[in-house]
Chains A and B, each alone.
Chain A
Amino acid sequence: MKYMLLIYSDESDPRSAGSPEDMAGHVALAREAISHAAYVTCDALQQTPAATTVRVRNGEAVITDGPFAETKEVLGGYYVLDCKDLDEAIAYAAKIPPAKHGAIEIRPIMEIPGWDEMIGLTSPAPAAR
């Protein structure tokens, strides 16, 4: 089953900026997941001052600066890993460097028949923009 591992940390904590040791930890984790055919994808997000939240009400888009919710720890990145069970997902989560000062939320991904086709992921990869 695929799991999303959401990385939350306090942006005001200097440890959340990502040290060279943390980067090495991410590379080691990704390589381990790749060697077990568990790696699907991962991304790092720009910090929350760059976030924009959009809501459509009465047909009008209402745009606010900042993330959806004001929380002390905020989403900074994520992994998607294909794990045999939740225990394996927890073992990977514990190896994500910010787990040492932040929190990793693990969310199972729904397997929806035909989903990839529905959202166009099975069509040829378009050229980079």
Chain B
Amino acid sequence: MTRAAGIDPGTKSMDICAIEDGEVYYENPLDNVELANEPEKINDALREAFPVDLISGPSGYGVEPTRIDEIPESIFEDWYYNYILLTTKAEIQKGIEEGIFGAILYKNMTDFSLWMRREKFPVMFIPGVIQLPTVPYYRKINKLDMGTADKLAVTALGVHDQASRLGIQYSDVSFILVEVGFGYNAVIGVEGGRVVDGIGGTNFPGIGFLTLSAVDGELVQLIGNWERKDTFEGGVVSVTGEMDPDAFVKRKDEKNEIAFDAMMEGIEKAVASMKVSVKKPKEILLSGRWTKINEITEELEKRLSDYADVRALGFLEGAETTKETAQGYAIVADGLAGGTFKQLIEWMQIHEARGTALEYIHHPKFQGVPERFVSFK
């Protein structure tokens, strides 16, 4: 018997999902606004899921599978900021002083992970798409985010979902996963049951709800002092001023209409370009908070059905309230612990992922940046 838990740090909520022999026995989605005020709530929730053999900790941009006790406690905080969140403690402190909500979330994630380190919990940090050996190097060039750890986790759920639903081997699985989240969107390509390409939130060709996505290099040069918070802006909310998803999808005025078309066409462009890497996907699988809204699902089905059959990503058995990404996190933990999903994780070569997100930049100005961080291992 294997019991495993996943902790998914979403933009809107932090979800805990725990499974035993492949079935969900504990779920708890915790609202981030509440957690910002009462961060200890996550600690209590996690203990409710115990005992567990392995936990997939909130892994941000992803690292090779790394047990929490591999990182000395003395450098753990900096290590987490540097490699999981691709930032520094000083930058986050500055963000908190400026009242930036995302900075508070990052600090809470770090504090929570540090707490798990001190409590000696069996935590593993997991990879994102860019660390996978199944993605050719040339697709990784100049990328940091090809799909964060939660996007890889939900892709593992996708491979399990298609294989079990269609009764096929992992090696016959092929799909393009469309994840439409509260902050970012991502598209991941799977062929032969393995991830072969990914377009992460900050590389996406159209706006997300919060983020402007990939940046026109000219815009970076124009603005000059590009800050972390700038990657959380320039999306639908910046275009419309609208924080209410229902009002946005009803497209009640011209700005809403423009933002809706921009976001939807961006997703279509991402799927179209992913067809270069996955020529004949069996399906396009939709997941994420926004794909539960009818107007979004209908629009995506209309736009994407020319590329392949479109369907919603299935849930794990027993799952009801947590996001698909949290379920994926639990699957990865289970597989790495040698449980029900061991074969899946090995087939996807997640256990063979190597390094960090910082290893594929070929811009000369990036030289010296990683050296400012603490040692990875």
A and B from one complex: no
- A-to-B contact residues, CB < 8 Å: none
- B-to-A contact residues, CB < 8 Å: none
